[in-house]
Structure 1
Amino acid sequence: MAGGKRDKIKMTPDETASYLADNFKVQVATINKDGSPHLVTMFYALLDGKIAFTTYKSSQKVVNLRRNPGMTCLVEDGVEYNELRGAQLNGRGLVVEERDELLKVGRVVGSRMAGLPVPAIGEPIDPAIEAGIEQAMSKRVLVVMDPTEVVTWDHRKAG
């Protein structure tokens, strides 16, 4: 794509932040031992403005990140070409085992997955639901995307 058109459809940093805040599914790519990509879709929340999700400690993506922290995240939407929007974040996937941070994201993602009202990060939730989320998080870790490069597009801007 020519630089002119590419620049025209690029999201501003504020547009990118808003876009990521308005979405909750991310495609996550890590690198398998043989160099091939491991690609999965995860529900996420923003933790201090960064994509964050919980996953099982023994999951393939965690095994991959512990060996090689390289990770790419893709959030995208749109059906017709002139509606396509997305943000590709390239960088490092940080595996975090700190329980308070894990629970902050677990409350948001767990509520969404259960079809319950989704709290803001750090917002308290119903104690009965909290107990279930705490139990569900016992075998999980938090993965936070630490981007070094962000590429965005919003074809709606092309007119």
Structure 2
Amino acid sequence: MAATQRRGRRIMMTEGELDAYLTERRTCRVATVSPDGRPHAGALWFAWDGTSLWLYSLTRSRRWADLRRDPRIAVVIDDGEEYGELRGVELSGTVEFAGEVPRTGEPCPELELAERLFARKNFGLESMPHDGRHAWLRLTPDAVASWDFRKLGGP
């Protein structure tokens, strides 16, 4: 996948656990860099294809403008309430813009899998509804860090 995690090997997810986790989870938090250098974070739904994280973002958003200027991104997907339940993944790298902007549904082989996965997971549909306000971002991560505190055992 990406760079190997150096610390926390004991709580690191295996490749299979990571793939299953990213496939089942629905919401992520996306961090971008604003023009003044400050971070900006917001929540988005996503789809995972086994290699890349696909984000369907409003094209008239601060996130979109930030990424057009500087495509570096960090994304966190996590859950758990109690310490021993905490688990998650941080993915970082550079996004690529995919397909038409904004997306209106023109045929695009590059987006077929991402749109099918996203539509099933988030809308319970077999095909992607397009509103002409969103477009696709693809993150194929340069670095991945994961944690699953349930592996520590305990109460």
- The normalised TM-score by structure 1 is 0.77
Query: What corresponds to 1:41 in structure 2?
Result: 43
- CA deviation digits over 1:75-131, x for unaligned, max 9? 1011100000000011112121254444653454455554x35xxxxxxx3xxxx5x
Report the alpha carbon displacement of residue 58 of structure 1 after superposing the two structures with TM. 2.3
Query: What corresponds to 2:57 in structure 1?
Result: 55
Unaligned stretches of 5+ residues in structure 1: 118-124
Q: For structure 1, which segment, 55-64 or 69-78, has the greater mean C-alpha deviation from structure 2 after superposition? A: 55-64
Across the two proteins, how many residue pairs are aligned to each other? 141
Query: What corresponds to 1:143 in structure 2?
Result: 137
* RMSD of aligned residue pairs (Cα, Å): 2.4
Percent identity of equivalent pairs: 29
Do structure 1's residue 96 and structure 2's residue 90 form an aligned pair?
no
1:53–1:109 contact (8 Å) kept in structure 2: no
Match of 2:87 among 85, 88, 100: 85
Alpha-carbon distance in structure 1 between the residues aligned to 2:119 and 2:48: 14
Q: For structure 1, which segment, 42-51 or 68-77, has the greater mean C-alpha deviation from structure 2 after superposition? A: 42-51
Report which of the two has the higher share of helix.
1
Do structure 1's residue 105 and structure 2's residue 114 form an aligned pair?
yes
Do structure 1's residue 18 and structure 2's residue 27 form an aligned pair?
no
Report the alpha carbon displacement of residue 49 of structure 1 after superposing the two structures with TM. 2.8
Q: Match of 2:13, SS?
A: coil
Unaligned stretches of 5+ residues in structure 2: 1-6, 101-107
Q: Match of 1:7, SS?
A: coil
Alpha-carbon distance in structure 1 between the residues aligned to 2:42 and 2:112: 22
- Going from structure 1 to structure 2, the CA distance change for 1:153 and 1:48 (only over 3 Å counts) comes to closer
Question: Would you identify which runs of 4 or more consecutive aligned residues in structure 1 move more than 6 Å?
Answer: none
- The normalised TM-score by structure 2 is 0.78
1:27–1:74 contact (8 Å) kept in structure 2: yes
User: One-letter code of the match for 1:143?
Assistant: L
